[in-house]
Chains A and B, each alone.
Chain A
Amino acid sequence: MAEDSNVYYTEGLPVPETPAPGDKPAFWKQTDVVGKRIPRVDAYERVSGTAVYPSDIKLPNMVYGAILRCPHPHAKVKKVDASRAKTMPGVRAVITGVSPKVKGLNWKYRNYTGPLFDSHCRFEGEVVAAVAADTRYQAWDAAHAIEVAYEVLPYVADYKEALSESAPKVHDGGNLAGMDEYERGDISRGFAEADAVLEETYETPCQIHTPMELHGCVANWDGDRLTIWESSQGVYAVQSNVAEVLGIPLSKVRVIGHYMGGGFGSKLKPGKYTVLASLLAKQAARPVKMILTREETYLCVGNRPANTMRLKAGVKSDGTLTAFEFECIGPSGAYPGGGTALVDWLVRDLYKCDNVRCRSKDVYINAGTARPFRAPGHPQGSWALEQMMDALAEKIGMNPVKLRLKNIPAISQGRSEPYTTTGLKACIERGAQQFGWKNALKRAKEQNQSASHIKRGVGMGACVWYVGGGGPPSTVIIKLFRDGSVNLNMGASDIGTGTKTVMALVTAEELGVKPEVIQIEHADTGTTQYATPSGGSKTVPTESPTVRNAAIDVKRQILEMAAEDLDVRTAELDYEGTEIVWRKDKSKRIRVTDVGRLKKRGVVVGVGYRGPNPRTKTVNPFGAQFCEVEVNTKTGEMRVLRFLGAHDSGRVLDRLTYDNQVFGGIVMGIGFGMTEFRQLDGKQTGKLCNRNWHDYKLPTALDVPVDMESLPIEIDDPEANNTGTKGLGEPVTIPTASAIANALYMATGIRFTNAPVSPMGMCRRLAARKEG
């Protein structure tokens, strides 16, 4: 076996120096594995069909759950009659609001706690009853057979009307869910100093996550022990939520989420469905599979709230920004969900501006509650701010790229402290260069002066993401087996971003072992270490430094053991991947697999913890995106011809998954700007009109450009953390829609202040201009 141990190592790969105990690891000056284009370590499972997602779980004796939901936006449940459902074929369990087991069980929305089964249904899709039956079809039949008497109440669906006197109240305390105010400097002075002041109102739609895998879980009891396979971004979050609601110890709830089919923020926490599955499983004394229908995922598992934003901005003729005044309203939905959370952050933080005032009002309406959605608040704020920047540039006759470069802040404006690194300037400058901004501009102008009805435009948008630096807590374990192979154990979920892969690369870089032989155990509260949910673009900057620390812990232990074998001091030994070498005489060496205590113990366990972030500095990722569009002014059809994303997210760990993430963010941004919106029937029923992918349009393969480019702006950031990484998943979707809007303006001369811009909307505006 010892002779074969080389198969696990990359021959000749230099391994970073092992820091002495208590010392911080040195910043990787250059890397040999990290940063390359390497296919995912779990790609085989994902393309062969053998990866088992929670939806794929099938246990012996398993039955299927279904939930009966309130069909009205606002109603009181007067009576529930489940007597017929209970006698139907295959039915194993029925739960309603009066079932003894659910009495006293509560559900939390941020700072609001209400009963799990609330007879006061404040949104279409609220839980009324749940059943479990032998087949999914029988479960649906039984749920449909439950008779419910509702007292239908007046509703409010339009968030802009929610605070009017006559609006029906969602909660007794009224419809104001919260207010936020922020001020720095003096905006009246700022506007007085300006050579040009512009003011505009912008609207963005409610966007719904709709990850490809439906929300859901399988729940199974072994006596008082509960195991849940959940499609989740964070198994520990599911564990703590379920344990709290059911009042059972954390140790008795095991949550497993090895694979999951997308979440985008909507699967950071479990849903009521998770608890219902657990309750049904208890009653049925069988495992219950509870996978929501697509329609349910439109109603009750979150959204990016719609926003109306008024932005007033002042600029000097030399391009210096003098003041921003920002007002915003948006709906949390029926319960607190962050209706205006972080919508103002870009106005506060992205550009240098001394005088800023922001006010937000978060309101309740009778519709599903918002949840974090990929860069909460930011694409909305970008839609306003980045269009305003272009309008200001035009007003003072400046190139929009130049205006942005003129206002690059040296320190974080919103937090008044320095960034560890800021790549904002480089993203804009190098992005514009790589994109060929000047030529594209010229090309567009020439085409638009021609008689052709096809018009062309180029546009850009820049961004910062509110967090993205990660931070504690995180614990990771790396095991080195006596044959030299390695096992990585972490609690974090891989939500499709390639978490497992990049952590294997970090391990490989530090230990010299081949990434593909690293076995990864992850996302299981029973067997892997504590991790916070994968969200906030923090998984890489949180977990990768922890993984590195764990690998270093392994090396230190092996060095100590080897020192005994070689009879030298530990500090004089170097870890060189397959071998440990004495620095004073390189002929004195021992293979890792020959180290005596490793052979005897069978395994060395290295533990890594995430150290603190810099105390007085902010760690943020930055980016800039550029696009070129074409508009057919006869039909209103728009084509996004190409896109470039220049992003500063610190060190790139895997270029292949990095690019994929950049393109994916752009695609989602194209949806936000051009195709997606939730339509409530405000006037007649208050119900959701588009509750499926036919009526709610996601971008398809035909809606995205083939020509997409990713330009990483890598700036060494040793202060951020020991891998020099920052988050990527969210910034990549922030400026996309606003860049498109700016390009559409150049093509048509029309400012599209309301997203999304559909071909029909384009036609209307073009026609109005013709008439006007």
Chain B
Amino acid sequence: MCSEHRDNEGTGKQGMTRRGFMQIMGTGAVGASLSGAAMAAGSKPEPPAKILDATDTVKINLNINGVNHAVLVEPRWTLLYVLRETIGLTGTKEGCGRGECGACTVLIDDIPRYACMTLAVEAESRRITTVEGLMMGEELGPVQTAFLEEDAFQCGYCTSGQMMAVEGLLRKTLKPSMDKIRRGVSGNLCRCGAYNHIFRAASRAAGLKTK
């Protein structure tokens, strides 16, 4: 927010305006989501891409934790912003907004992804799982239980991201080695430094899941 607000603000003189950039982003993203839908529907030719203004809204369907949400979003809104501020699923946290910390990790089609680096429009027709989706009603899921029992957090702010990374790992690898576990959560920063307990929780979760 801070710096270079004069130098970097697109004025048209530098070749590309912010708005122009966002239009391209919007086009690409909407194009991608439309093509997904088109493919699902059959072999109809793709409709021509529609150019959207940054502040125009599009209606998309997000499948989150098995529930369909029809939401109006600006094409530039991230999945993280829509999850937290529009839908109200605040278990997914924002730490950096630029793909560095992993606090916003969710599963998209079972693969851990940073929700801050995923535009909401990109996530259409994908299967999104958030920390709320690990719950079984009011009961904690196995990864959550393991994190609770091993005290695998301190402030708890990176925790949902860590748990989603572990959940993603365990969906792919039933019994991960310690090396796999460390690599599995290496995209998730914990400033309190609870890594050691996180490793233990991941091992315990693997045990709980295969019980």
Contacts and interface: CB of A to CB of B under 8 A. Distances in A.
A701 B154 contact: no
B124 interface: no
A495 B153 CA distance: 11
Contacts of B95: 212-214, 294, 693
Interface stretch (A182-190, A197-205, A257-265, A544-552): A257-265
User: What is the interface residue range for chain B against chain A?
Assistant: 35 or more
Nearest to B77: A137
Interface in A171-209: 209
Contact of A89 (B55, B76, B185): B55
Nearest to A299: B2
Nearest to B183: A702
Which residue of A66, A699, A701 has the most chain B CB atoms within 10 A of its CB atom?
Answer: A701
Most-contacted residue by chain A among B92, B96, B194 (CB, 10 A): B96
Contact of B91 (A48, A146, A212, A701): A48
Interface stretch (A37-45, A276-284, A401-409, A553-561): A37-45
B147 A47 contact: yes
Given A48-B135, A496-B192, A664 B2 contact: no
B139 to A, nearest CB: 9
Contacts of A295: 1-3
A692 B96 CA distance: 8
Contacts of B193: 663-668, 699, 704
A103 to B, nearest CB: 24
A708 interface: yes
B84 interface: yes
B105 interface: no
Contact of A693 (B84, B96, B192): B96
B182 interface: yes
B90 A52 contact: yes
A138 B74 CA distance: 11
Contact of A69 (B1, B132, B159): B1
A694 interface: yes
Contacts of A53: 90, 93, 157
B29 interface: no
A124 interface: yes
Contacts of A136: 81, 85
A46 interface: yes
B194 to A, nearest CB: 6
Given A48-B91, A692-B96, A692-B98, A700 B186 contact: yes
A144 interface: yes
Contact of B149 (A39, A498, A694, A708): A39
B183 A698 contact: no
A496 B85 contact: no
B36 interface: no
B67 interface: no
B156 A701 contact: no
Contacts of B144: 47-48
B17 interface: no
Contact of B5 (A49, A144, A211): A144
A58 B87 CA distance: 11
Interface stretch (A337-345, A568-576, A653-661): A653-661
Contact of B178 (A70, A698, A706): A706
Interface in B104-150: 130-132, 135, 140, 144, 147-149
B195 A667 contact: yes
B153 to A, nearest CB: 6
Scoring B55, B88, B155, B183 by chain A CB atoms within 10 A of each residue's CB, the highest score goes to B155
Contacts of B89: 49
B106 to A, nearest CB: 11
A701 B148 contact: no
Contact of B2 (A71, A89, A497, A663): A71
Given A56-B84, A261-B156, A666-B193, A701 B185 contact: yes
Contacts of B60: none
B93 A55 contact: yes
Nearest to B187: A700
B101 A693 contact: yes
B151 A657 contact: yes
A262 B185 CA distance: 19
A93 interface: no
A40 to B, nearest CB: 7
A497 B189 CA distance: 18
B126 to A, nearest CB: 20
B198 interface: yes
Contacts of A495: 155
Contact of A664 (B148, B178, B194): B194
B163 interface: yes
A233 B188 CA distance: 24
B196 A68 contact: no
B149 to A, nearest CB: 6
A89 B187 CA distance: 37
A125 interface: yes
Q: What are the 8 tightest A-B residue pairs by CB atom distance, in nearest-first order? A: A49-B91, A667-B193, A261-B157, A496-B155, A46-B156, A496-B154, A664-B193, A56-B90
Interface of A: 39-40, 43-44, 46-53, 55-56, 58, 66-71, 89, 124-125, 135-138, 140, 143-148, 209-214, 259-262, 264, 291-296, 299, 495-498, 656-657, 659-661, 663-668, 687, 692-694, 698-702, 704, 706, 708
Interface of B: 1-7, 9, 55, 74, 76-77, 81, 84-85, 88-98, 100-101, 103, 130-132, 135, 140, 144, 147-149, 151, 153-160, 163, 178, 182-183, 185-199
13 contacts: A40-B148, A47-B140, A48-B91, A53-B93, A145-B9, A261-B158, A264-B191, A291-B94, A295-B2, A660-B154, A663-B197, A692-B96, A694-B98
Given A656-B151, A687-B3, A700-B195, 8 more contacts: A49-B130, A66-B1, A69-B2, A135-B74, A260-B155, A694-B100, A701-B183, A706-B178
